[in-house]
Structure 1
Amino acid sequence: MNEGAQSEDRIARLRLIRSDHVGPITYLQLLARFGSAAAALEALPELAARGGGRTPRLATRVTAEQEIAAVAKLGARHLFLGQGLYPPLLAQSEGAPPVLIAKGELALLERPAIALVGARNASAAGCRFARQLAHDLGAAGAVIVSGLARGIDTAAHDGALESGTIAVIAGGIDIFYPPENEARQRAIGERGLLLAEQPPGIEPHARHFPTRNRIIAGLAHGTVVVEAALKSGSLITARNAGEFGRDVMAVPGSPLDPRAQGCNQLIRDGAILIQNAADVLEAIRPFEVRVAQPTAPFAGAEPPVDTSDGERSTVIALLNQTPVPVDEIIRQAALSAAIVQTILLELELAGRLERHAGAKVSLLG
């Protein structure tokens, strides 16, 4: 593919990703069926009509070109799933974002990574431990991945800034959040690596953080949790790591400290108890074997096929507002996986279906 064709393909891919109701699984299904993003864009209105909804808003060429220019002006670049420097471990994860915006040292994506996350209201001792752990792991050759939040995340980035750290942020790559981490975010963009799923200018909202957590877990060979309450975003990251087949590790704490209850619960449920960097390295080695894993993106489902009104009615009758595994729908509908996945795709493009973690779906109210 020559440079002009590559540019057109990137624009079409970005338009497809930024169009209404096109999530990661839908994106891959559309590419599998139609062969290119441009062809998928042409087919979207008809597919949405089959799902019984209004025509989705398609991102325009002008919008895509403006985003590409804005990203370049920031000294960043787009990384598309299945192409070039897209992180190979993340590409294997269910729901991997179709595009990331990256700024900084892209070579860090080629090194083994460990996620280090924890409480925002962390104790001084917890932050000191996280900083030292990140430093020691970095000295051993690992890249530290975290979410640039207050507390443990901040300490982890500080400990690994010299050896290599990746910050995954919930908003646009030019948005500084939390505000007090602006200098730290700038430093990581120059000496480490910043990654964002959202376009420039997008402020982080609550709905963005679960996806940010999945990216953190997907990038890393294993996730270490240092201080976390029982209802904590760090535990979501740990659960994501487990779903991806990665190691989940936790630092134990006093049962009298609420900030230790989440870690203690993880250990009780089977997470690896961590006391120092040597424990982490023992859990995730050998790096070389894991890095050599296949890098094909998660396929999610078979390519879409033609469907009938009767098949569509059968699938819709099995859905409601309660998330249900796609495999269960396939079993109860007594239809092929390709037919069910296609109907779900049509419903999603029509704005009638929501996808959840763990390959579950539900009807929107």
Structure 2
Amino acid sequence: MTELQARLRLIRTESVGPQTYRRLMERFATANAALEALPSLARQGGRSAPLAIPTISAIERELADIARAGARLMMLGDADYPPYLAQLHDAPAVLALKGDAALLKSRAIAVVGARNASANGRRIAEDLAAGLAKAGVVVVSGLARGIDTAAHQGAMRTGRTIAAIAGGIDMIYPPENAALQEQIGRAHLLMAEAPIGTAPLARHFPKRNRIIAGLVSGIVVVEAAVKSGTMLTARLGVEAGREIFAVPGSPLDERCRGCNDLIRQGAHLTETIEDIFANLPDQPGKSMAFSVIQDGGLAEPVSAWQDAQADQAGLTRARRVITSLLGPTALPVDEIARHCQCSAAILATVLMELEIAGRIAFLPGNRVALLS
């Protein structure tokens, strides 16, 4: 089994999401080693039922399906993984790419907004995207109806665009954008985190939104209701340290209230591309993920894990203390560490065991909660 197959098998395993994947790679350095350790970790965490780990043949079928779709996989830790995206604590462990992956090396800005956009909103989005693309910026959006569609179309008039979609790389959505999606996948770049064949369900869109926020140095919002997926993208951008730009609109139009609210909170009021370029950071940030798992991982974290494994008495005590502390109310990991009074490696080992066993969940703010 190749390392690529092993990494895909690991991320497709029950109880292994993007954050767990990163922690496993930090500990074991290779996906093959992590896969071998999973059953033991789950048992130590109190799980009696076996983990659902995909077979090698299932992974081979998925890779064959991806190739037939004209796509390829990019894994977290690959040299060409987008550095901005890798900074996210929950950066996708695997992405399917169709088209020109070299676009991921260029400066990118997102243009997003309402699906039920007004004619003026669509025109503004298209013009801003065209101006950005003409200046050499890659325009990122989500291929949804309304503003997203206008942004892609504007960018394609003068330059390049990336579409991040919520379903599998082979799924057309919305149906009326079939030709646009095909053109982006052929001459620009289409990307998806969900496995091939996955329908774009509502629960997949927040994950798609974080990819959009992670790929770019700035997010331009053109029309958004206060409670909308677009506002979630903006919030994710704020959390990731991205610059937020918002086009103001009428307070009488529900589609504009989100933008006006963003401006009140400090987003850059945006009418032209000059407003955007005047407030962009000079360079993308350095990828933290590259220092974690590039080329299979680092020796020092693995050594620390081995030291923790050697201290069986410490692990036994920590398991008892930590499980007694945890409950349905999330606790910060720092607080758990204070009560446990154990090494960071032992704490991380016990939390990983519980996570793989499906007994705890890591929540935003580095907090942990016991699952029912």
* Structure 2 length-normalised TM: 0.90
Q: How far apart, CA to CA, are the structure 2 residues paired with 1:294 and 1:28?
A: 14
Report the alpha carbon displacement of residue 298 of structure 1 after superposing the two structures with TM.
7.5
Structure 1 runs not aligned, ≥5 long: 1-6
Specify the alignment match of 2:321 in structure 1: 314
1:329 alignment partner, one of 336, 342, 364: 336
What is aligned with 2:354? 347
- Other-structure match for 1:176: 172
Q: In structure 2, list runs of 5 or more residues that go unmatched.
A: 294-300
After superposition, where does 1:85-234 map in structure 2 within 5 Å?
Answer: 85-162=80-157, 163-234=159-230
Match of 1:67 in 2: 62
Aligned to 1:49, which of 4, 23, 43? 43
1:282-321 to 2 correspondences below 5 Å? 282-286=278-282, 289-290=283-284, 293-294=286-287, 296-297=289-290, 299=292, 304=305, 305-306=308-309, 308-321=315-328
- Residues 206, 142 of structure 1: alpha-carbon distance in 2 compared, 3 angstrom cutoff: same
Distance 1:64 1:130, change over 3 A: same
Q: Please say if residues 147 and 216 of structure 1, whose CA atoms lie closer than 8 Å, have aligned partners that are also in contact.
A: yes
**Corresponding residue of 1:254:** 250
- Give 1:9's aligned residue: 3
Identity of aligned residues (%): 53
* CA pair 200-57 structure 1, distance change in 2 beyond 3 A: same
CA RMSD of aligned residues (A): 2.0
Give the equivalent residue in structure 2 for 1:277: 273
The answer to whether the 8 A contact 2:42-2:353 is kept is yes
**Would the alpha carbon gap of residues 20 and 260 (structure 1) be closer, same or farther in structure 2, given more than 3 Å must change?**
same
Deviation at 1:331, TM superposition (A): 4.0
Spell out, residue by residue over 1:83-108, the C-alpha distance to the aligned partner (whole angstroms, 9 max, x if none). Answer: 13221211122110111000001111
Confirm or deny that 1:21 pairs with 2:11: no
Q: Is the 8 A contact 1:94 1:298 kept in 2?
A: no
Count of equivalent residues: 355
- 1: CA distance between counterparts of 2:292 and 2:333? 14
Question: Does the 8 A contact of 1:94 with 1:244 survive in 2?
Answer: no
SS at match of 1:249: strand
Length-normalised TM-score, structure 1: 0.91
